[in-house]
């Protein structure tokens, strides 16, 4: 037995016995990415399903999400006729915390749609909100439909944090803001209908 053999065996044993709640999830490989890399993945995933599956002509510039020419701070220009400025927030949570954290949301008029791509063990929740949906939250009040408040980040004038719990998502699903895409029971037609309702 060599040190290398022992190293390989102990690593495999530690991974096999891990209590990681993402173990076996189809999204497990994404948990190894940094937050920025996950965010980029969420934007690209959303852009591709909007443009390739829902067939809504859109534009995504990757890391360039500030456009001085139209006064926007957003990730995807959705529906090139309506030119909807769509800001995307991607978050990961699993059984242990069941809380999706969304940072750096602006109250000022720099986006038309705010889309949350929230990843669970085998589901993705896609929530689309408008400035009207967020109005009370940006006054530090609880939204009566979502049942949550947003938090202004410390020492910031306009950077808000708005986290989702399972209850928030249940409320958003009931209100028609959120579609649940189940990896093991995919419903592409339902997702397309959801996207067309919000962006078409």
pLDDT tens digits, residue range 116-174?
999 999 999 999 999 999 988 888 888 999 998 888 877 777 888 999 999 999 999 99
Domain map of the chain by residue range? 36-199
Nearest-angstrom CA–CA distance, 145 and 169: 11
pLDDT in tens, 158-182: 888 999 999 999 999 999 999 999 9
pLDDT in tens, 99-109: 999 999 988 88
| Among 190, 187, 148, 149, CA closest to 169 | 148
Nearest-angstrom CA–CA distance, 175 and 187: 19
Instruction: List all residues 6 or more positions away from 172 whose beta carbon is below 8 Å from its beta carbon.
Output: 125, 127, 145, 146, 164, 178
Nearest-angstrom CA–CA distance, 149 and 141: 6
Under CATH, what is the fold of the domain 36-199? Trna Endonuclease; Chain: A, domain 1 (3.40.1350)
Q: What is the mean pLDDT of the chain?
A: 89
CA distances in angstroms from 92 to 31, 62, 65, listed in the order given: 8, 20, 21
Beta-ladder partners of 118: 91, 125
Percent of residues, the chain, with pLDDT higher than 70: 94
Higher pLDDT pick, 18 / 13: 13
Task: Give the per-residue pLDDT at 107.
Answer: 86
Task: Give the per-residue pLDDT at 65.
Answer: 60
Instruction: Look up residue 187 and give its two tokens.
Output: 């419903």
């Amino acid at each position: 037995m060599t040190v290398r053999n022992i190293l390989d065996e102990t690593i495999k044993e530690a991974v096999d016995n891990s209590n990681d709640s993402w173990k076996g999830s189809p999204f497990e490989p994404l948990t190894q990415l940094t937050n920025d890399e996950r965010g980029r993945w969420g934007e690209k995933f959303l852009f591709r399903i909007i443009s390739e599956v829902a067939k809504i002509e859109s534009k995504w510039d990757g890391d360039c999400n500030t456009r001085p020419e139209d006064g926007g701070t957003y990730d995807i220009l959705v529906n090139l006729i309506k030119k909807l400025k769509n800001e995307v927030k991607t978050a990961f949570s699993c059984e242990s915390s069941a809380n999706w954290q969304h940072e750096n949301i602006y109250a000022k008029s720099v986006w038309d749609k705010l889309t949350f791509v929230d990843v669970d063990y085998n589901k993705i929740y896609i929530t689309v909100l408008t400035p009207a949906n967020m109005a009370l939250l940006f006054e530090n009040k609880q939204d009566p439909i979502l049942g949550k408040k947003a938090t202004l980040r410390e020492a910031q004038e306009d950077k808000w944090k708005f986290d989702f719990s399972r209850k928030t998502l249940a409320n958003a699903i009931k209100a028609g803001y959120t579609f649940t895409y189940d990896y093991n029971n995919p419903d592409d037609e339902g997702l397309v209908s959801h996207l067309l309702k919000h962006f078409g």
